[in-house]
Amino acid sequence: MKIVMLGAPGAGKGTQAKKIAAKYGVPHISTGDILRSNVKEETPLGLKAKAYMDGGELVPDSLVLDLVIDRLAKDDAKTGYVLDGFPRTIPQAEALTEGLSKTGDKIEFAIDVNVPDENIVERMSGRRYCAKCGATPHVKYAPTKVEGVCDVCGGELTIRDDDKPETVLKRLKVYHDQTQPLIDFYEKQGVMHTVDGTKDIEEVFSDISNILEK
């Protein structure tokens, strides 16, 4: 099963991708992980990517695609994989489709974890972070005993810049402008499926499993 996960930031697609990988024995592949491992191992592609990153530039789509295609060619991805965080745009999706077709491969499932914007803002802006131990409680869903104090180590809790409501709204706008059109793209290919991401994590996973096992 060759899967692309879609969904806005904070929708929970990464969590579901990991659960799919664990249940079906396929690798969970995120572009961030691929970039980091290639840079760390100083592969030819990794060194190219590092040059852009060191210069404070975005790694170009063509190089990200090369990294993804290279990763999908590994033995552990032969029977399937879960792509998380790529493609993000129509040009990336078109390039991925073309790159896979050269080896007779294709995406079999595109799964959108759909959560309304207001839910995402509530989820993300309620997250807190402890710089001391890394704990991430939530003011509504996993509150600490004392507001602003970490239950684990007693450290001070802060809100990350990425989780501030104004930042979340900006990220959602980028998602809707760039990534939402992917739903139409994969619908035309006949592989698009949508699940209700507002449900409990296990319920969402059950819905995804039903899609994959039909």
- Please list the alpha-helical segments (H only) found in 44-137: 44-54, 61-72, 90-101, 117-125
The more confidently predicted of residues 102 and 211 is: 211
Q: What is the pLDDT of residues 147-191, one digit of tens each?
A: 999 999 999 999 998 899 999 999 899 889 888 899 999 999 999
Euclidean distance between CA atoms 68 and 30, whole angstroms: 9
What mean pLDDT is predicted for residues 198-214?
95
Q: What is the pLDDT of residues 37-92, one digit of tens each?
A: 898 999 999 999 988 888 888 788 889 899 999 899 899 998 899 999 899 889 99
Euclidean distance between CA atoms 26 and 109, whole angstroms: 14
| pTM given for the model | 0.84
Q: Which residues contact 128 (CB under 8 A, 6 or more apart)?
A: 136, 137, 138, 139, 144, 148, 157, 158, 159
Q: Which domains does the chain have, with CATH numbers?
A: 2-27+74-117+166-212 (3.40.50.300)
As annotated, the active-site residues are: 13, 88, 127, 160, 171
